[in-house]
Amino acid sequence: MNAEDSIKVGIAGLGTVGSGTVNVIRRNAREISSRIGRPLQIAHIGARRDNPACDTSDIRVSRDIFAVANDPEIDILVELIGGTDTARELVLTAIHNGKHIVTANKALIAEHGNEIFHAAHDKGVDVAFEAAVAGGIPILKALGEGLAANHINWVAGIINGTGNFILTEMREKGREFEDVLREAQALGYAEADPAFDVNGTDAAHKLTILASIAFGIPLQFSKVYTEGIERITPEDVLAAEQLGYRIKHLGIAKDTGRGIELRVHPTLIPRDVLLASVNGVMNAVMVDGDAVGPTLYYGAGAGDEPTGSAVVADIIELGRELTADHDERVPYLGFRADAMAATPVLPIEDVFCSFYIRLHVQDRTGVLADITRILTEHSISIEAMFQKDVGEDELVPIVMLTHQVSERDLNDALEKISALPAVVEPDTMRIRVEMLDA
Amino acid sequence: MNAEDSIKVGIAGLGTVGSGTVNVIRRNAREISSRIGRPLQIAHIGARRDNPACDTSDIRVSRDIFAVANDPEIDILVELIGGTDTARELVLTAIHNGKHIVTANKALIAEHGNEIFHAAHDKGVDVAFEAAVAGGIPILKALGEGLAANHINWVAGIINGTGNFILTEMREKGREFEDVLREAQALGYAEADPAFDVNGTDAAHKLTILASIAFGIPLQFSKVYTEGIERITPEDVLAAEQLGYRIKHLGIAKDTGRGIELRVHPTLIPRDVLLASVNGVMNAVMVDGDAVGPTLYYGAGAGDEPTGSAVVADIIELGRELTADHDERVPYLGFRADAMAATPVLPIEDVFCSFYIRLHVQDRTGVLADITRILTEHSISIEAMFQKDVGEDELVPIVMLTHQVSERDLNDALEKISALPAVVEPDTMRIRVEMLDA
């Protein structure tokens, strides 16, 4: 295949995830083509109406989604319409036409996956559905490839963001279920009909898929035991805390040796396990493998671009399969060798950080004034400062947090501060601060 | 290629990771071949001495590791000898002989990767090194494939378990650095020469690799700014806590728009971010992408089988490339369709769990005795029980945690308990408990 030819993608459905997918492909076009080795082109969109959240002005748009599945130019059909009936028909049509499939549709895969894979296998096309479980978290890839050496013992995940938001609010603020649910709907987290979120159906779809990849069993959605969070009260949330636990709505798949457990239900988990600290709308999946032990994968489980991230990753993967020789399906360092960036690495002096500074001073009188004067001269502002009680040898510890400053300015200032007669120079400590916010 | 032919692997080095790799391949042979579509065979091991931790009795073993790299029967050479000089020579020899490479050697890739990839590209072979960064966590796959749609903003990771163990102990127990370091050496976490762990060199090797895959830049180990944790004192750990932070030894790679920051140093991070709760020898890497937002990957960063898990995942990946048609490199559900397991899904009644039970009773006298009698009759033992103050309507809440019991027995007992005259039946609540321990 000619590397100059673009990979041609057709997208059916232009709702939240559809617009996120279009926007990610447009914005990161250069990096994406450096990863695939060929440009990616959105050649055809099928949608009942336009979505002002994304620009489709230079893309062919049809009102009939089947026009996309039947478009001979398309290599990959991306199914983002949701639901099961029309989606199933659309995907089977595209497969019949020899197109590879990418879908974010958990219900479709959980309920009709066995049939779809059978059809795809017959036509020799691929079906990718990373976005169907836990949104942007690449959990299916981790399970099916990254942990492929393991016998999987169990998988346990917070795989519905709305439910986790409700339980988090109930715990942090002592609120009632119904009250938080109304807020979640107002915030757009929950659907107008939030039943699938809170009664566990959505999580059961995702768990069905996780379990098949974990244990190599067929998709068996009808066998998942499912219990919602509607009956959880603030009293239970509080009692669980008092016992050292937190209540989370988990999907659990476990290989017991006697058979597989598949269940979605509210669950008390110890307060000090990492999963208990996954709050708000975030998702996380724990996987316990016999070789690797416990692992955890955390991120946004829904939303336009987080889900689009997984959709486009699947498109890139298919693009790589269509493009590369076997030895370079994924380039050694992810990007093609002929497309490496020349971005410079910055010397540490040019890095901007907040800093924790800890000094030991012999005598407080006047020293603080000297220190703050030096900091001001270097345009370094202080976010927090405290002096501790006199320590050993009558030394007074002073601790400061600075606002953002370049390493160069901070070093200059610290050199002058350390030269002050009252400062015990070898004790001076500085540690960088990172907020790790997005 | 004939699917009946086994994939032939040669392993150079039989230390901790070598024996873990051999044991994982042996134990999970059936599942691994179901994933690849062909059996995997360890055809040749090169090691200066045997390792009693694994059985190599039916495997050809040479004392000269180069005998493996030159063995014409081998498809994949697995380099697990460590170090950079001999390892580089070994890997280049194997590449010259047309073999694919799997390595767990972070120093080798960080310092000689550019040369090795160049040679591999010329010979059309693959080089896989998932095990080189964060042990069993499939972070390179997540970064290079799962998040391939994103422009990566930054990566920040706890990527040295020894250092994290030391900082965790200092915080939890107020201990001194030197004291904990000695314990880490006694426990086998730290090497006899722990310098690379605590001075940041090991983390810098791993960060070099992460940054290249994140940003598409060449490997530039010499440009990583590196600072160790030797100077951190209990006083700093405590002061950080008082300010709402924790000190972690992080590797940070950030795209600032002006250039790339590459730095390893002790770092204050807010106490309530998930990374701050990663304790002991565990590793975790946060990745922030422009589409997906913040994500986190957690697991064991070292050890025989956790690292072996990543080594064998790379072997499976290469095996799949050598075996599969493009459309089924990775089977739809991870396992080959002709190798799906018939393991049954258990009905919920057969699931064993601990339970949280919360009842509202109208009058305490005699009720507790009735409840405990019913539980005893169903062989349900109680781990914890407490009664709360009288609530609304003079009802007394009773909360219990049970030991493991089958759902069937629990339901039977609860039905009888709910039928007691003093129990307000519609209020009865039961929630399953999971410890999520490995």
Band of residue A391 on the pLDDT scale cut at 50, 70, 90? low
Mean pLDDT of chain A: 93
**Residue in this structure with the two tokens 């945690």, named with its chain if needed:** B401
Comparing CB atoms, the residue among A145, A347, A436 nearest residue B275 is A436
pLDDT of res. A11 = 98
Tell me the C-alpha distance between B93 and B77, whole Å. Answer: 10
pLDDT of res. B337 = 82
CA pseudo-torsion sign B284, B310, A148, B253: positive
Residues with Cβ within 8 Å of B245's Cβ and at least 6 positions away in sequence, in order, are A356, A433, B268, B269, B270, B271, B276
Tell me the C-alpha distance between B133 and B126, whole Å. Answer: 18
Q: Dump pLDDT digits (tens) for A96-109.
A: 999 999 999 999 99
- Write the CATH number for B85: 3.40.50.720
pLDDT of res. B326 = 55
Question: Residue B438 in contact with residue B416, Cβ under 8 Å?
Answer: no
The answer to whether residues A122 and A148 belong to one domain is no
Comparing CB atoms, the residue among B126, B236, B270 nearest residue A327 is B126
Q: Torsion angle, CA of B157/B158/B159/B163, rounded to 10 degrees?
A: 150
- The one catalytic residue among A99, A106, A141, A206: A206
Tell me the C-alpha distance between A312 and A329, whole Å. Answer: 16
Query: Among A292, A348, A392, A403, which would you mutate to test the B interface (most chain B Cβ atoms within 10 Å of its Cβ)?
Result: A292
Query: Among B145, B287, B290, B437, which would you mutate to test the A interface (most chain A Cβ atoms within 10 Å of its Cβ)?
Result: B145
- The one catalytic residue among B99, B106, B141, B206: B206
Say if B391 falls within a structural domain: yes
pLDDT of res. A325 = 63
Band of residue B316 on the pLDDT scale cut at 50, 70, 90? very high
The answer to whether residues A156 and A271 belong to one domain is yes
Spell out which residues of chain A touch residue B259, defining contact as CB-CB under 8 Å.
Answer: 343-346, 350
Tell me the C-alpha distance between A366 and A369, whole Å. Answer: 5
pLDDT at B312 over 80: yes
The answer to whether residues B237 and B325 belong to one domain is no
pLDDT at B303 over 70: yes
- Write the CATH number for A238: 3.30.360.10
Say if B262 falls within a structural domain: yes
Query: Among A32, A329, A431, A437, which would you mutate to test the B interface (most chain B Cβ atoms within 10 Å of its Cβ)?
Result: A431
pLDDT at B324 over 90: no
Q: Can you point out the beta strands (E) in B301-416?
A: 352-361, 382-387, 396-402, 405-406
Residues with Cβ within 8 Å of B238's Cβ and at least 6 positions away in sequence, in order, are B174
When divided into structural domains, chain A yields a total of 3
Determine the average pLDDT of the residues in B101-120: 97
The answer to whether residues B21 and B131 belong to one domain is yes
pLDDT of res. A2 = 47
Say if A2 falls within a structural domain: no
Mean pLDDT of chain B: 94
pLDDT at B89 over 70: yes
The answer to whether residues B329 and B354 belong to one domain is no
Say if B153 falls within a structural domain: yes
Domain that holds residue B396: 348-433
Question: Between A and B, how many residue pairs show a Cβ–Cβ distance under 8 A?
Answer: 454
Tokens representing B412 are 């039977």
pLDDT at A1 over 50: no
Q: Dump pLDDT digits (tens) for A323-333.
A: 866 556 788 88
Determine the average pLDDT of the residues in B246-270: 96
pLDDT of res. A4 = 59
Tell me the C-alpha distance between B126 and B316, whole Å. Answer: 13
Say if B1 falls within a structural domain: no
Among A7, A117, A25, A263, CA closest to B327: A117
Q: Count of CB atoms within 10 A of residue A188's CB?
A: 10
Query: Lowest-confidence range among A218-222, A335-339, A359-363, A386-390?
Result: A386-390
Q: Can you point out the beta strands (E) in B292-380?
A: 293-300, 352-361
Question: Residue B261 in contact with residue B253, Cβ under 8 Å?
Answer: yes
Q: Looking at this protein, which amino acid is placed at residue A273?
A: V
Among A176, A175, A195, A173, CA closest to A185: A195
Comparing CB atoms, the residue among A259, A344, A431 nearest residue B267 is A431
The answer to whether residues A28 and A66 belong to one domain is yes
Determine the average pLDDT of the residues in B415-423: 94
With CB atoms and an 8 Å threshold, state whether B341 touches A216. Answer: yes
Quote ipTM for the complex: 0.95
Q: Dump pLDDT digits (tens) for B366-416.
A: 899 999 999 999 999 999 998 877 666 678 899 999 999 999 999 999 999
pLDDT at B124 over 60: yes
Among A162, A213, A170, CA closest to A188: A162
pLDDT at B338 over 90: no
Determine the average pLDDT of the residues in B61-71: 98
Q: Can you point out the beta strands (E) in A274-351?
A: 282-289, 293-300
Percent of chain A with pLDDT over 70: 96
Residues with Cβ within 8 Å of A193's Cβ and at least 6 positions away in sequence, in order, are none
Band of residue B3 on the pLDDT scale cut at 50, 70, 90? very low
Spell out which residues of chain A touch residue B305, defining contact as CB-CB under 8 Å.
Answer: 290-293
Q: Looking at this protein, which amino acid is placed at residue A25?
A: I
The answer to whether residues B166 and B196 belong to one domain is yes
Tell me the C-alpha distance between A157 and A263, whole Å. Answer: 11
Q: Looking at this protein, which amino acid is placed at residue A321?
A: E
pLDDT of res. B411 = 96
With CB atoms and an 8 Å threshold, state whether B265 touches A120. Answer: no
With CB atoms and an 8 Å threshold, state whether A346 touches B259. Answer: yes
The answer to whether residues A121 and A179 belong to one domain is no
The answer to whether residues B218 and B276 belong to one domain is yes
Determine the average pLDDT of the residues in B14-26: 97
The answer to whether residues A208 and A321 belong to one domain is no
**Residue in this structure with the two tokens 């914890």, named with its chain if needed:** B384
With CB atoms and an 8 Å threshold, state whether B263 touches A351. Answer: yes
Annotated active-site residue A254? The verdict is no
Residues with Cβ within 8 Å of A57's Cβ and at least 6 positions away in sequence, in order, are none
Spell out which residues of chain B touch residue A145, defining contact as CB-CB under 8 Å.
Answer: 138, 141, 313, 316-317, 330, 334
Band of residue A284 on the pLDDT scale cut at 50, 70, 90? very high
The answer to whether residues B209 and B80 belong to one domain is no
Question: Residue B102 in contact with residue B80, Cβ under 8 Å?
Answer: no
Q: Dump pLDDT digits (tens) for B155-181.
A: 999 999 999 999 999 999 999 999 999
- Write the CATH number for A375: 3.30.70.260
pLDDT of res. B438 = 60
**Residue B410 DSSP SS3:** helix
Comparing CB atoms, the residue among A138, A263, A291 nearest residue B147 is A138
User: What's the farthest any 2 CA atoms get from each other in chain B?
Assistant: 84
Percent of chain A with pLDDT over 90: 86
pLDDT of res. A327 = 56
The answer to whether residues B216 and B243 belong to one domain is yes
Say if A150 falls within a structural domain: yes
Question: Residue A71 in contact with residue A92, Cβ under 8 Å?
Answer: no
Say if A94 falls within a structural domain: yes
Q: Dump pLDDT digits (tens) for A239-262.
A: 999 999 999 999 999 999 999 999
Q: Torsion angle, CA of A182/A184/A190/A196, rounded to 10 degrees?
A: -70
Determine the average pLDDT of the residues in B65-74: 98
With CB atoms and an 8 Å threshold, state whether A260 touches B343. Answer: yes
pLDDT of res. A23 = 98
Question: Residue B91 in contact with residue B79, Cβ under 8 Å?
Answer: yes
Percent of chain B with pLDDT over 90: 86
B438 vs A359, which has greater pLDDT? A359
Q: Dump pLDDT digits (tens) for A301-323.
A: 999 999 999 999 999 999 998 88
Tell me the C-alpha distance between A330 and B91, whole Å. Answer: 20
Determine the average pLDDT of the residues in A183-208: 91
Q: Dump pLDDT digits (tens) for A105-126.
A: 999 999 999 999 999 999 999 9
| Chain B residue whose CA is closest to A348 | B225
Band of residue A395 on the pLDDT scale cut at 50, 70, 90? confident
Determine the average pLDDT of the residues in A133-142: 97
Say if B110 falls within a structural domain: yes
Band of residue A268 on the pLDDT scale cut at 50, 70, 90? very high
- Distance to chain A for B343, nearest Cα, Å: 6
pLDDT of res. B250 = 97
pLDDT of res. B333 = 86
Q: Dump pLDDT digits (tens) for A419-435.
A: 999 999 888 999 999 99
- Vertex B226, ends B222 and B227: CA angle to 5°? 160
Question: Residue A316 in contact with residue A32, Cβ under 8 Å?
Answer: yes
